[in-house]
Chain A
Amino acid sequence: MTIALVDYDQALATYEPVLGLEVHVELNTKSKMFCGCSTDFGAEPNTHTCPVCLGLPGSLPVINRRAVEAAIRIGLALNCSIAPWCRMARKNYFYPDMTKDYQISQYDEPIAFDGYLDVEVDGEAFRIEIERAHMEEDAGKLMHMGGAGRIQGADYSLLDYNRAGTPLIEIVTKVVPGTGAKAPQVAKAYVAALRDIVRALGVSDGRMEQGSLRCDANISLRPIGSQVLGIRSETKNINSLRSIEGALHYEIRRQAAILDDGGRVKQETRHWNEAGYTSDGRSKETAEDYRYFPEPDLAPIAASPMWVEELRATLPEMPAARRKRLVAQWGFTELELRDVLGADALDLIDETVAAGASPQSARKWWVGELSRRAKEANVDLDRVGVTPQQVAQVQALVDAGTVNDKLARQIFDFVIAGEGTPAQIAQKHGLAVVSDDGALSAAIDRAMAANPDVVEKIRDGKLQAAGALIGAVMREMRGQADAARVRELILEKLS
């Protein structure tokens, strides 16, 4: 993309970013929002359809109770008020992936509204105000044929309506000012927190890369000190936490460049490209006319206080509270906690500990070695290719003295390559430290014979010189020796 960008810090010196986030959560109900068709992925095209989700003439929707309960529980988890009475509404627009050419959604009567979610970035707390959470249905999937499979320049398109009618909860924030240079991190932290909440509630798997959690990120810039909101862009197609940060970082630099030239930011939807930039989408200069009206085919939803309280009682411990508890339990320092959150490793560490590893060792692997690998592969940490159970198994080998950290890192290579359990891999590739003193002492004798001067130094009390001998022994053992034991043996021999 050959487009002028302003240096990030320079942009933030002149402008204040204002965020707005829309997150779509795909619920994991067994059946669709308005019919009994399965929501499972991967079926033959159009075999999870019926008169209702195909929008056939004469068909009528019936609301899935579990989807409503999920919406209310999400609302409660986000500290929202729950509407005592609300209706579904029709959002009218023509598009081939929408079988009725209107979407059943909610308009001015969302089931949940006026909530908030607190997030933390580098130890600084931010409160994200939630405007609303409402229920709606998903659309079918388009496949563009010709024109390199992109919508632009395609010859025609193919439609699979298996996904049509899958329940969605759309969660919309109020405008979020005051995050300054941390805006991209705050957005990422907010979406991560939302994802943790829907997972904790068990209402969605919250997998961004699979589209079960989708984020549209709005951002506008205004001169620092100004109270007037600038014109915003809305970036869609963001399918990972890293991309949220990247997209907003890029948009801040792009919009700053436009404003610096005295230009006007176009109100439009933009698309995030994994290559690291956002590209022009559809202009939203002319607002669409969706002609919303109450859905006459569906009865209103009246959430009685009793029902709401029953659902409130089913709420699990919220991620923020859980975080505090775990960290106290694990005895992490503030700094360690920041790294853990920054790496989005809390759940992974928890599962690793549950699988038998010590909190510190689990933290060390996930925040260190494995985070490094995730960065290199440009994937979120939970997609790095190693499970918490496997990390625990590797750590068990370390604790047993069977392998050292160096060998453990090699084992991870093979685990990611899918060669089996850590134990099998250690076996297969003979990755084990030599603990047989006989073999070690022979190697030590050879090393001492080869380095008489070093031996002298040690005898004179310069114990640190032993490092040279240890190194020589480790080299001979190709790393598969317990350095501590080697040192012990050397000192025994020379005492």
Chain B
Amino acid sequence: MSGLVLQTAADLAGLIAAGEVSAHEVVAAHFERIAQVEPQVQAFLALDEERALAAADRVDAKLAAGEKLGPLAGVPLGLKDIFTYQGLPCTVGSRILEGWHPPYDATVVKRLLDADLIIVGKVNMDEFAMGSSTESSAYKVTHNPWNLDYIPGGSSGGSAAALAAFEVALSVGTDTGGSIRQPAAVNSLVGVKPTYGSNSRFGVVAMASSLDVPGPFGRTVLDAALLHEAISGYDPMDSTSLNLPIPPVAQAARSGEIKGYRIGVVKELGGEGYAPGVLQRFNESLALLESAGAEIAEISCPHFTYALGAYYLIMPSEVSSNLARFDAMRYGIRVGDDGKRSAEEVMNLTRGAGFGAEVKRRVIIGTYALSAGYYDAYYGSALKVRTLIQQDFDAAFAKVDVLVSPTSPTTAWKIGERLDDPLAMYKADLCTIPANLAGICAASIPVGLSSENGLPVGFQIMAPAMADDRLYRVGAALERGVADAFGGPVLNQLIGSPAWDALSAQAVAARFPNIILGLAENLS
């Protein structure tokens, strides 16, 4: 395995720009790594080697011609299969869209290509982004590189697993109730849910329109920040897009200065039901932040206890409407069209065969919550709770700069463990959902492994809308504290571990220092 795959995205781009390595070599090295570990990880739904290498060659040509390229030019990236990208099928992890080739590109995809990032392929996800384990994908089960018997989180589980297994240097996901932060947490990655409306949803197959937002995954805070800047910004094709300047997130990631920062610990997001191993790392992290100069205070957000309930009414209601269009008339699979059956029967059969159990559950709950006679009690009440949660955040952010909590109450669980226990599955998003309901921004930062099972633990930071830079500032401070505490990034504990050998044939501890270099760069 080439050590190139262990580099941070920022360093890879630097090496490529400096001409020390070609984009072609970098991309080729990642495809070599993919060939090696993909059979174990199962993160990809589609690979695009030919176009990726051609794109890399174009980057090399531009550089040879003396062009000045973006800070991530030539860096290989994994794209969640929820984005439309011409030339690759877009399945959204669902049987019902099998073989659909979108005739247009998502805005985020356009921006990735404009920034000369290299899209390596499309990665696995829970069907229509509904799930916290990527097990609801109709195509394959993706495995957690830290322990192949465990789930990689979800719904952006493929994005996270591919990045944690060093198959790509960056990846893009979407977050509706935690779908970026929870997979980031269980794979020991940086995952950011930007402010709602700051990243275009155009070309993102909708799950819950008022909650969905695309966002970056990185192995370091700076990598995530650079990707964040590459994909964010106003888009006239998205009516909910904010016409505001993107906060200086990369600058904040480089600084990491938090002296005098006021950090609020959400009282309601902790305690009972939270794994001791998770709480332990969480509390250590608070100490690290305090020693970095921050003031820690406990803040109560009384209505957060109703967030899960509100979320599981608002989201399915929007889902039931957003997924209506998959009716076998214009695209996707068509089942039972024997020339005798009616359009209605064909719709019923196609949706019955094309949707998985979790999608059916949510569509039916949403149909119920919106139906005559129940609207006020369910959907209507949920919208009011949404207001109360926003008020909780407003009150809290009047007192502190950011709020923090564990990203998820537990670490990853065994594949299959919660498959038929929807509520248990839903609880994985307990801490991440409030941010989506309020539209504010939030991130998950790796803070070590649980002493219970040796699996990664994530630390969630929440900041007001359009104050995304605070996430990166606090995230960078925490990243440093953790690195100092463990003598390197948490991911380094994967490299060379038994799990690492299970992942790949060859041990590669030799390349280990590269990533330290990557981190050193962040510290400077």
Answer whether A and B touch in the complex at a CB cut-off of 8 Å: yes
Report if B159 contacts A (CB, 8 A): no
Known contacts A291-B321, A293-B379, A299-B240: does B206 contact A58 (CB below 8 Å)?
Answer: yes
Is there contact, CB below 8 Å, between A57 and B239?
A: no
Q: Does B103 contact A (CB under 8 A)?
A: yes
Are B102 and A58 in touch, CB under 8 angstroms?
yes
Contact B370 A94 (CB under 8 A): no
Chain B residues within 8 Å of A58, by CB: 83-84, 90, 102, 106, 201-206
Instruction: Identify which of A55, A157, A293 gathers the most chain B CB atoms within 10 Å of its CB.
Output: A293
A461 interface residue (CB < 8 Å to B): no
Q: Is residue B367 contacting chain A, with contact meaning CB distance below 8 A?
A: yes
What 0/1 readout, one digit per residue, does chain A (284-319) give for beta carbons within 8 Å of chain B?
A: 000101011100111100000000000000000000
The B95-133 residues at the A interface (CB cut-off 8 A) are 97, 100, 102-104, 106
Nearest B residue to A95 by beta-carbon distance?
Answer: B343
Q: Is A60's CB under 8 angstroms from B239's CB?
A: yes
**Residues from chain B with Cβ under 8 Å of A94 in the complex:** 324, 327, 344, 347
Tell me, in angstroms, the Cα distance from A352 to B320 when the chains sit together.
56
Q: Which B333-370 residues sit within 8 Å CB-CB of chain A?
A: 339, 343-344, 347, 367, 370
Q: Is the CB of B205 within 8 A of A62?
A: no
* Contact between A56 and B236, CB atoms less than 8 A apart: no
Q: Are B92 and A57 in contact (CB under 8 A)?
A: yes
Question: Whole-angstrom distance from the CB of B183 to the nearest CB of chain A?
Answer: 21
A155 to B343, CA, bound (A): 11
User: When chains A and B are docked, how far (Å) is the Cα of A224 from the Cα of B329?
Assistant: 50
What CA separation (Å) do A96 and B375 show in the bound complex? 26
Query: Given that A60-B201, A96-B329 are contacting pairs, would A293 and B372 also be in contact in the complex, using a CB cutoff of 8 Å?
Result: no
Contact: B347 with A56, CB < 8 Å?
no
Task: Mark out the residues of chain A between 92 and 133 whose CB falls within 8 Å of any chain B CB in the assembled complex.
Answer: 92, 94, 96, 99-102
- Smallest CB–CB gap between A289 and chain B, Å? 5
Interface pair B330/A54, CB less than 8 Å apart: yes
Question: B97 touching A296 by the CB < 8 A rule?
Answer: no
Q: Is the CB of B239 within 8 A of A62?
A: yes
Check A61–B239 contact: CB distance below 8 A: yes
Closest A residue to B327 by CB, please name it: A101
B468 is an interface residue with CB less than 8 A from chain A: no
A63 sits at the interface (CB 8 A): yes
Interface string of A45-69 (1 = CB under 8 A from B): 0000001001111111111000000
The complex places the Cα of A423 from the Cα of B26 at a distance, in Å, of: 82
Q: Is the CB of B321 within 8 A of A96?
A: no
Q: How far is the CA of A156 from the CA of B325 in the complex (A)?
A: 20
Partner of B239, one of A56, A159, A298: A298
Please indicate which of the listed interface residues B208, B236, B317, B372 has the most CB atoms of chain A within 10 Å of its own CB.
B372
Q: Are B102 and A293 in contact (CB under 8 A)?
A: no
Chain B at the A interface: SS class:
loop
How far does the Cβ of B98 sit from chain A's closest Cβ, in whole Å? Answer: 13
The reply to whether the CB of B283 lies closer than 8 angstroms to some CB of chain A is no
Q: Which residues of B contact A61 (CB under 8 A)?
A: 239
Residues of A within 8 A of B237 (CB): 60, 62
Q: Is the CB of B325 within 8 A of A291?
A: no
B92 partner residues in chain A, CB cutoff 8 A? 57
Residue A24 CB within 8 A of the other chain: no
Contact B321 A90 (CB under 8 A): yes
Instruction: Tell whether, in the assembled complex, residue A159 and residue B370 are in contact, meaning their CB atoms are under 8 Å apart.
Output: no
| Least distance between A143 CB and chain B CB atoms (Å) | 14
Are B343 and A96 in contact (CB-based, < 8 A)? yes
Q: Which residue of B lies closest to A290 (CB)?
A: B372
Provided the pairs A62-B236, A90-B321, A92-B370 are in contact, do residues A56 and B327 lie with their beta carbons within 8 angstroms? no
A155 to B342, CA, bound (A): 9
Contact partners of A293 in chain B: CB under 8 A: 317-318, 321, 370, 375, 379
Complex-state Cα separation, A56 to B379, whole angstroms: 26
Q: Give the shortest distance, in Å, between A202 (CB) and chain B (any CB).
A: 27
A63–B370 CA distance with the chains assembled, in angstroms: 25
Q: Mark A159-187, 1 if CB is under 8 A from B, else 0.
A: 10000000000000000000000000000
Residues of B with C-beta under 8 A to A298: 239-240
B381 at the interface (CB under 8 A from A): no
Report the separation of the CA atoms of residues A293 and B371 in the bound assembly, to the nearest whole angstrom: 10
In the complex, residue of chain B having the shortest beta-carbon distance to the beta carbon of A97: B329
Q: Closest residue to B340 on the A side, CB-wise?
A: A155
Known: A291-B321, A291-B370, A296-B208. 8 other contacts (CB 8 A): A57-B205, A61-B239, A62-B237, A62-B239, A101-B325, A156-B339, A291-B371, A296-B240
> What would be 26 A-B contacts, judged by CB atoms less than 8 Å apart?
A51-B104, A56-B330, A57-B84, A57-B92, A58-B83, A58-B84, A58-B106, A58-B202, A58-B204, A58-B206, A60-B201, A60-B238, A60-B239, A63-B239, A94-B324, A99-B325, A99-B330, A100-B324, A101-B327, A155-B339, A287-B372, A291-B320, A291-B371, A291-B372, A292-B370, A299-B239
9 closest Cβ pairs, A-B complex: A101-B324, A291-B370, A296-B209, A296-B210, A57-B205, A58-B203, A100-B325, A96-B329, A58-B205
A residues touching B (Cβ–Cβ < 8 Å)? Answer: 51, 54-63, 90, 92, 94, 96, 99-102, 155-157, 159, 287, 289, 291-293, 296-299
